[in-house]
Amino acid sequence: MLLVGQSFKDSSSLSSLPTTMTLQWTFVASVLYLEIFLISCFMLPFINPKTWQRVFRSGLVNWLSKYSKIYFYVFIAILVLLFSESVREVRKYSHPLEPQAGTYSASAETFHQMKMFRAQRNLYISGFAMFLWFILRRLVVLIANEATLMAESEASFRQAQSATAAAQALLDEKSDADDNKKNASKVKKTEEESAKTEPSSGGELKAAMVELEDTKEKLYKAQIEFDSMKKQAESTNKEYDRLLLEHEKLQIKLAQVEGEGDKKGN
């Protein structure tokens, strides 16, 4: 009779036990589901990192990011406390129920197993929530860094294109100056040949000499302009080579960041 009464009493207490999770574990489970959803969104391949960068720089996110470190450490502390509590519960109910004289029943064993199951469930929920919290924070940092590197790479590429256009323009000007120099030398030779073959009077000779001096002066000015353009072209070429080197370095950094993001995602 005592065993039947005890069994009936245990069955009544087991049936009256609430089947839902408590408030704190419901909150942790909701956070876990939210983390899984956000990580899945960040891993979508058709969303550009620049899009996520614009989302991160929005007004609401910027307002929240001012206290992001505080939120992060406070929530980690809460998860650590809940995780420690779940570990304690698992250790508490991991030992088998010791039967006592006149009080042991099947319902008591079932009740003990149910407590063990709930403790293990809470352990998994809090542990995965804490782990995914670190993963989510690291993933946000990597996406922001990748978006920054992409913007810097595009800016360097545009600078390299403008430097290339400037260098090409200087080379065209240099070729025009060379043509002018050749034309001036041809004119000088023609005048010398005409002076040799066709003797003229003293006045015509003086006029030819004055014209020759003017041509020499123009040629000297053209030579000075050519030298200055040559120096400018050399400096532009050096700047273009430097920009190309920076572009290659940025491409390497971008590839490394994408590689690290793929490894973390795998």
pLDDT tens by residue, 58-79? 766 666 666 777 878 888 888 8
pLDDT tens by residue, 140-150? 888 888 888 88
Could you tell me which residue, 173 or 118, shows the higher pLDDT?
118
CA-CA distance, 87 to 105, in Å (whole number)?
27
- pTM beyond 0.75: the answer is no
Angle at 160 (CA atoms; ends 155, 161), nearest 5 degrees = 100
Domains in the chain: boundaries: 2-148, 158-265
> What pLDDT, on a 0 to 100 scale, did the predictor assign at position 14?
41
CA-CA distance, 233 to 130, in Å (whole number)?
59
Half-sphere exposure of 173 (CA within 13 A, CB side): 17
CA-CA distance, 173 to 87, in Å (whole number)?
79
Q: Flag whether pLDDT at 259 surpasses 70.
A: yes
> What pLDDT, on a 0 to 100 scale, did the predictor assign at position 210?
77
